[in-house]
Amino acid sequence: MEFETSRYDIDIQNEPIEAREARKLILETFKDLSFIEEGHKYYLNGEELISVTTLIKRFVEETDFNEVAEKKAIRDGCSAQELLDKWQFINLKATTTGTLVHEFGESYGWMINGHPELITESCIIKYVKNKNWMIPTRKKEEAIICFMNDLPKSYHLVLNEARVYSGLNSDEAKNPKQKYCGTFDMLYYYDGDGDKNKAGFVIFDYKTNSKIESEYNRTNGKHLLEPFINMVEEAKSEYTLQLSAYQIPLEDIGLKVIGRRLIWLKDDGTYEKIPLIDVSSTLRNVL
């Protein structure tokens, strides 16, 4: 969803001033970053920027799927193209479903915080205005509702679908050499639950993968590339890098990020909240 002018005026009832000020700061600071759905491309003042997702692939050994398909086709008694088509179909099904689930999460988050006008087009049909309901049509959407219901009152929504880019640190030495950008699902302000010293911002990201960890790679010692060779090559590790990369632009405009959490949505309607370690310092040094 585009950052329309109306989003600058969003206030949420009883929210802390820190959440409101952070929302306006982010929207104002990164307002010139545009996103083109076709090709999934980002532009800043006419310059195309690399996305966080693409950037993180630098640390993952490239797989030649044509070669893998050729070997597997011999074992399975089929053609390599049949396998490639099957894998493409499965991938497109997963990514399409994932997009729709993410849009449900974005819409539901705005709805329960008093802003149903920000419900995405794909979710309007699911909205029951007189009841303020959003009807889930998939188990993973039910998982989103469970997550939202479980979220403590000490967490306050700042933004859904926040777009950011790097390179804004006043200390030029701390800026990555290559400017990058990306969109993360949710930013919340944790008020410290009575202890202001514990307060700060937490990045949440929905994930709809069938698996987050790779038992095969863990057993066989397959890891990411330098300088992350201590991390197993698996979705959880890639997301660790991804959320730390999102953290950098937020810190560079003065926000204190105290946590990164995956919200892993499962096919049975449940979810798992997975804390991720902070590798932002390493990313700053290597990017």
Confidence of residue 5 (pLDDT cuts 50, 70, 90): very low
DSSP-assigned states of every residue in 185-241 = EEEEEE--TT-GGG-EEEEEEEE--S-SS-HHHHHHT-BPPTT-TTSBSSHHHHHHH
Q: Which two tokens stand for residue 46?
A: 């006419």
Which residues fall within 8 angstroms of residue 197, CB to CB, at 6 or more apart?
none
Quickly count: other Cβ atoms within 10 Å of residue 235's Cβ: 18
Confirm whether 105 is domain-assigned: no
253 domain-assigned: yes
Give the separation between CA 218 and CA 232, rounded to whole angstroms: 6
Q: Is residue 1 domain-resident?
A: no
- In DSSP terms, 48 is beta-bridged to 43
The least confident of 3-7, 167-171, 227-231 is 3-7
pLDDT band of 40, cuts 50, 70, 90: confident
154 against 67, higher pLDDT: 154
Q: Rounded to whole angstroms, how far apart are CA atoms 277 and 204?
A: 13
Total residue length of the chain:
287
Q: For residues 191 and 154, what is the distance between their CA atoms, to the nearest angstrom?
A: 5
What pLDDT sits at residue 6? 53
Torsion sign (Cα): 234, 236, 237, 241: positive
Per-residue pLDDT for 87 more than 90? no
- Global pTM reads 0.93
Q: Which of 199, 267, 206, 203 is nearest to 235 (CA)?
A: 206
20 has pLDDT over 70: yes
Does residue 206 fall inside a structural domain? yes
Mean pLDDT of the chain: 93
The range of the structural domain enclosing residue 21 comes to 15-62+139-286
Indicate whether 52 belongs to any domain: yes
Closest residue by Cα to residue 129 from 119, 139, 143: 119
Residue 240 lies in a domain: yes
CA distances for 245 relative to 192, 218, 230, angstroms: 24, 24, 18
Mean pLDDT computed over 44-71: 90
Output the pLDDT for position 37: 81
> Does residue 91 belong to any structural domain of this protein?
no
Which of 232, 255, 254, 246 is closest to 279 using CA atoms? Answer: 246
Number of domain units in the chain? 1
Residue 86 lies in a domain: no
Q: What is the pLDDT of residue 269?
A: 97
> How far does Cα 7 stand from its chain's mean position?
20
